[in-house]
A and B are shown apart, each in its own frame.
Chain A
Amino acid sequence: SQKIEQNSEALNIQEGKTATLTCNYTNYSPAYLQWYRQDPGRGPVFLLLIRENEKEKRKERLKVTFDTTLKQSLFHITASQPADSATYLCALDQGSARQLTFGSGTQLTVLP
């Protein structure tokens, strides 16, 4: 069956360090992968989209990689700040149906 796994439900890191979040998938062949940020009691907010033919995408302090051989995406936040504390969700497309399938998220806490 199709499955998306995001590493550990919670991740704590020290301010200024790089946070690395993992999204692994099985029995999918996604053409696109998206990352979202969700704050408590709010809807997710889109951060980055990466295509299967792109190895890496950057936006300010954010970097996403996509390895279709390993079936894995890594999401990095460099020089992390307490304001980066949130739950981060990865989402895979389901092709022409224009649907996304979401992972359960990783709750990141950046400690001052």
Chain B
Amino acid sequence: DGGITQSPKYLFRKEGQNVTLSCEQNLNHDAMYWYRQDPGQGLRLIYYSQIVNDFQKGDIAEGYSVSREKKESFPLTVTSAQKNPTAFYLCASSNLTGLGNQPQHFGDGTRLSIL
């Protein structure tokens, strides 16, 4: 079945540590996105990529980094510079064909907590 796989489902970070969240898709989508979701708030865009080897900052990119070396993969690193990393992180992908926005397909998220 085609879809998006995020791993791990739960992740714990120690102070001063960088952690990397994995996101893989087999939908052959060009665009991939990372969002952060906090309780009672909507999804906020961290980074997005429309093509391999290129990505753009979203609304809350500070303290995060990404890479897009392969079409299928878009890992997110939460660096020690992110002072409030506890949240639910969601990865999504979409086609870029046609006009306007295509629906986004989401993974089931990674819940990151601080030890």
User: A residues bordering B, Cβ < 8 Å?
Assistant: 4, 9, 31-32, 34, 41-46, 49, 51, 89, 93, 98-105
Residue of A nearest to B45 (CB): A99
Cα–Cα, bound, A59→B113 (Å): 38
Whether the pair B101, A103 counts as a contact (CB closer than 8 A) is no
Interface flags, B76-88, vs A, CB<8A=1, else 0: 0000000000000
In the bound complex, do residue B50 and residue A103 qualify as a contact, i.e. CB atoms below 8 Å apart? no
For A98, list chain B residues within 8 Å (CB): 31, 48, 50, 94, 96, 101
- Collect the chain A residues with CB atoms within 8 Å of residue B90's CB: 43-44
Given the interface contacts A41-B109, A43-B106, does A99 sit within 8 Å of B48 by beta carbon? yes
Q: Chain A residues with Cβ under 8 A from B105's Cβ?
A: 46
- The answer to whether residues A43 and B100 also contact, given A103-B42, A104-B40, A104-B41 and a CB cut-off of 8 A, is no
Contacting pair A42 B104 (CB below 8 A): no
| Nearest A residue to B99, CB-CB | A31
Per-position binary interface string of chain B over residues 4-43, scored 1 when its CB falls under 8 Å from any chain A CB and 0 otherwise: 1010000000000000000000000001010100001111
A95 to B42, CA, bound (A): 19
Are B42 and A105 neighbours in the complex by a CB distance under 8 Å?
yes
Tell which of B31, B96, B109 has the most Cβ of chain A within 10 Å: B109
